[in-house]
Amino acid sequence: MSGLILDFEKPIVELEHKIHELKLSASAADLNVGRELEVLEKRADEMRRRVFSSLTRYQRVQLARHPKRPYTLDYVGYMATGFVELHGDRGFADDKAIVGGLAELDGRPVMILGNQKGRDTKENLFRRFAMPNPEGYRKALRLMHMAARFGIPILTVVDTPGAYPGIGAEERGQAEAIARNLREMLALPVPLIVAVTGEGGSGGALAMALGDVVLILENAVYSVISPEGCASILWRDRSRNVQAADALRITAKDCLELGVVDEVVPEPLGGAHRHQEETAANLKEAVVRHLDRLLQCPAGELIARRRAKYRAMGAFTEGNPPVAPAAAAGGAGKKGAAPAARKP
């Protein structure tokens, strides 16, 4: 496997390299090593299963960020046909951190939108590491409204560390652009399917993720903040990112248990970065299955269900703040004592 090799992958890659070398040597010397290869391949398969079935939360974060994972345009190439990219927010610029356009998915017209990362430093700078400016969110919303106007369902592919935090982005209304997307996505009268395929970071991800169905790949993550950012805020120590990842509960399994996503899409053994086409096939199957169901729902019912789905998330309580036990006891023990003061 070329490119970045994560620490927990190294034993697997070393064994795979030995298998490859044995095949080359046997072929060159015309030797029959079928039995030996069978034993080594079985050992490699067992090692993959053992390693990938016991990943920690932060190891899943590392997989979600792997530079060889498929990105939005890769999924478009594997899953759809006839893609025509559309550009610009009709107000300021064309943000390259978000791509979008019309395509066909198994013969159905669909509007596909998503974050786009780069494969190298130059492309990542061009794409701004998939961190959108406000014009990116406005472009996405423009294309969503276009799809709604023509009754075309929408698929969004989410893979971003978060919205771009630059001064220019704030000056041009980053918070307003995200908030507007949240409001407008809840009222779109067409099916809206979300797929979190890598990093789903903060409001920058949520601004494209309020859908009728939210899918997440097995090794993707979805969180209000990155583990490093959380560790910096809570403990002033980014090196406690592993502890922060556990506290945040950001893996696909965690999000499903919390009710934040609707389905976990399995990745082939070894992860999406090693099996791009197979991962895209799994995602396409899930998208088409849910799309067939959602297309049967009237627009009013779609909107009502979508709004109810997000209103039901989380929990809150109303009432007076609790009085500290010591304060309550002190007040009760003295006749005529004034009630304990409460902090504002």
From first CA to last CA, the distance across the chain in angstroms is: 59
Which residue, among 252, 153, 237, has the nearest Cα to 200 in the 3D structure? Answer: 252
CA distance 132 to 117: 11
Q: Where are the alpha helices (DSSP H) in the chain?
A: 10-29, 34-52, 57-64, 72-79, 121-127, 134-149, 167-171, 174-185, 202-206, 227-235, 241-248, 252-258, 276-294, 299-311, 325-333
Which residue, among 170, 174, 195, 240, has the nearest Cα to 75 in the 3D structure? Answer: 195
- With a cut of 50, list the residues of the chain below it in pLDDT: 1, 332-344
CA distance 298 to 330: 61
CA distance 225 to 203: 9
Q: Can you give the pTM of this predicted structure? A: 0.86
Which residue, among 69, 134, 79, has the nearest Cα to 112 in the 3D structure? Answer: 79
What lies within 8 Å, CB to CB, of 135 at 6+ separation is: 89, 91, 92, 93, 94, 95, 172, 177
* Angle at the Cα of 45 from the Cα atoms of 44 and 47, rounded to 5 degrees: 65
DSSP secondary structure string for all residues of 199-211 = EEEHHHHHTT---
Residue 295: HSE in the Cβ half-sphere, 13 Å Cα cutoff: 13
pLDDT digits (tens, 9 = 90+) for 84-126: 999 999 999 999 999 999 999 999 999 999 999 999 999 999 9
Amino acid at 46: E
Provide the CATH topology of domain 64-311. 2-enoyl-CoA Hydratase; Chain A, domain 1 (3.90.226)
Residue 187 pLDDT: 96
CA distance 19 to 192: 45
